[in-house]
Amino acid sequence: MLRPWEMQFWLESSPGQTLHAKLLNKLTSDIKEGRLSPGTLLPGTRSLAKQQGINRKTVQQVYEELEAQGWVTTLRGSGTYISETLPEQKLTKPHEQLVNSTDKTKPASKLMSGLYQDARVPAPIANDGTPDIRLIPYELLARAYRRVCLHLSQHLNLGYGDPKGTHELRNAVTKMLKEDRFMNCSVEEVCILRGSQMGIYLASRILDPRKGAIIMEELCYLPAKAAFEANGFEILLCKMDKHGLDISHLQEILGNNAVAAIYVTPHHQYPTTVCLPMDRRLALLKLSKSFQFVVLEDDYDHEFHYGSNPVPPLASLPDAENVVHVGSMSKVFAPGLRLGYMAADRAFIERAAQEIVIIDRQGNSLSELVLSDLMESGEVKRHIRRTKRQYASRRDFTAKEFARVFGSKVSFEIPSGGMAIWVDISKLTKGKSLESFQNENSALITLFSTEQISPTHLRFGFGAIDENEITRSIELLFQVLNQ
């Protein structure tokens, strides 16, 4: 069998101990402490003897003794394995010595540790609006990876590159932003990221908390809030109404505070899904010029807008000089692809690249080249067109099912885009706490807005589920909410 790694052992020099005793003690302690876990294949006697510069007979005797004590099992023709059932019940806790016992680390905020906790559990089928990973064109991706790898092997260029990303993908993204998103930017004004979250984090590193606070909407994307908090920003919350950001409250905040930036999701507001009307977009941009603050525009799922007229992003409108625009391929293909981009003025992009050098050096050139290949050949556009039809039909079906199952007990607007629907459940929750809806379907809890003490709305993601799953999830929700 081909071993993934050559297993290394470091025999301490303890005077007076024979090589036999040293090796026996080392192997026994590695098993007890968990470095060698049950089922692990030990090196062959010949190779371990060579590695340690000792006699093969010594290794054979040690293995025999370990077997006699029940620590290992030898399978003829296969090798010596750590026993599946170890002789001692009271084994030392594994990896104990890897735990940092100093008190020199910074604690995570409550929000940050909560987000991490949620990120570790696999997303429930009904979530807050992720794409359906069953729709990923795996064959298409596999063919593109093969094509790009062959090309790279001929041109020998998979070394360190530009921290801003490969020229090919920056070029393809620039073209897409110009043709599809009305923007007028150059390749120098575009930088490739691992996803829009990275763009938000970079912005929170580049902006200076001493120059002012960050404005966010009352209900907003919590990982963005966590990033700004982690980098020392004060967060000021701006009111919203049914059309999104409340411009007069924004003016009031700006009149009373020093503000460095505002974070917004104007295309499909997170979590309410509302598309910010044009008059408010223009007013926001005017204010950003007169009060000189940055507008961080998170355009995380613009590809899935179902109305006939596309809505231009803030970055494409007049007075957009202070806009930093971030976008992502997470919804188009898959979150696991980890590809996104930032478009901003050259100086901001250069600062972002300086930050990238000290966290990641650069992106994943191979995946970047695959994506640019698929963008240039029109396959990305085709995939978007195909999946958009499916998501639009799931949105309509979701609306129908909510109306059928809940009747007038809930209300909602059909969203003009995105992968989630924002449902008013206040008639059912009537001041009850979030915890009172906790039951064996606790996955459903992720559907509620956790901003209020008593949930008034839920964000139901329809993107990742088919019609049967939509019906099942909505009927389940009805059982949970109608108690």
Ligand X SMILES: Cc1ncc(COP(=O)(O)O)c(C=O)c1O
- The stretch near ligand X (CB under 6 A) out of 97-105, 191-199, 248-256, 377-385 is 191-199
Number of chain residues interacting with ligand X (CB under 6 A):
12
Residues 6+ apart with CB under 8 A from 312: 181, 182
CB-based closest residue to ligand X = 195
Q: In terms of Cα–Cα distance, which of 331, 273, 327 is closest to 133?
A: 331
CA dihedral in degrees (372, 374, 375, 378; nearest 10)?
150
CA proximity to 181, closest of 269, 272, 267: 267
Helix 19-33 / helix 56-68 crossing angle, nearest 10 deg:
50
Contact partners, residue 419, CB within 8 Å, separation at least 6? 129, 130, 131, 301, 304, 331, 391, 461, 462, 463, 464
Residues 246-305 that bind ligand X (CB under 6 A): 265, 270, 298, 300
Binder to ligand X among 131, 244, 340, 455 (CB under 6 A)? Answer: 340
Please, which residue, 221 or 402, has the CB nearer to ligand X? 221
Which residue from 417, 395, 207, 383 is spatially nearest to 313, judged by alpha carbons? 417
Q: Is 221 in the site for ligand X (CB under 6 A)?
A: yes
With contacts defined by CB under 6 A, name the span among 108-116, 327-335, 377-385, 459-467 that binds ligand X: 327-335
Residues 6+ apart with CB under 8 A from 64: none
Name the pairing type of β-strands 323-328 and 340-343. antiparallel
Answer for which of 52, 58, 80, 196 binds ligand X (CB under 6 A) is: 196
Q: Does 209 bind ligand X (CB under 6 A)?
A: no
Helix (H) or strand (E) holding 238: strand 235-238
* Nearer of residues 270 and 478 to ligand X, judged by Cβ: 270
Radius of gyration of the chain (CA): 28
Nearer of residues 291 and 304 to ligand X, judged by Cβ: 304
Report in angstroms how near the CB of residue 371 gets to ligand X at its nearest.
13
Q: Does 335 bind ligand X (CB under 6 A)?
A: yes
Q: How far is the CB of 113 from ligand X (least distance, A)?
A: 19
The interface region with ligand X, picked from 7-15, 37-45, 190-198, 466-474 by CB under 6 A, is 190-198
Give the residue among 468, 446, 479, 476 at the shortest CA–CA distance from 129: 446
462 alpha carbon, distance to own chain's centre:
19
Q: Quick one: 277 or 335, whose CB is closer to ligand X?
A: 335
The closest of 250, 228, 251 to 240, measured between CA atoms, is: 250
Least separation in angstroms between CB 240 and ligand X: 15
- 289 residue type, one letter: K
Give whichever of 333 and 437 is closer to ligand X, judged by the CB atom: 333
DSSP 380-437: HHHHHHHHHHHHHHHHHHHHHHHHHHHGGG-EEPPPSBSSEEEEE-HHHHTT--GGGG
Distance CA 396, CA 383 (A): 20
From the CB of 363, what's the least distance to ligand X, in Å? 13
Region binding ligand X by CB under 6 A among candidate stretches 66-74, 193-201, 402-410, 438-446? 193-201
CB 180 to ligand X: min, Å? 17
List 272, 316, 330, 365, residue binding ligand X (CB under 6 A): 330
In the complex, least distance from residue 339 CB atom to ligand X, rounded to whole angstroms: 8
Residue 132 beta carbon to ligand X: minimum distance, rounded to whole angstroms: 14
Which CB atom, from 27 or from 226, has the smaller least distance to ligand X? Answer: 226
Binding ligand X by CB under 6 A: which of 288, 328, 429, 473?
328
For residue 128, the minimal CB distance to ligand X (Å) is 7
Residue numbers of the site for ligand X (CB under 6 A)?
195-197, 221, 265, 270, 298, 300, 328, 330, 335, 340
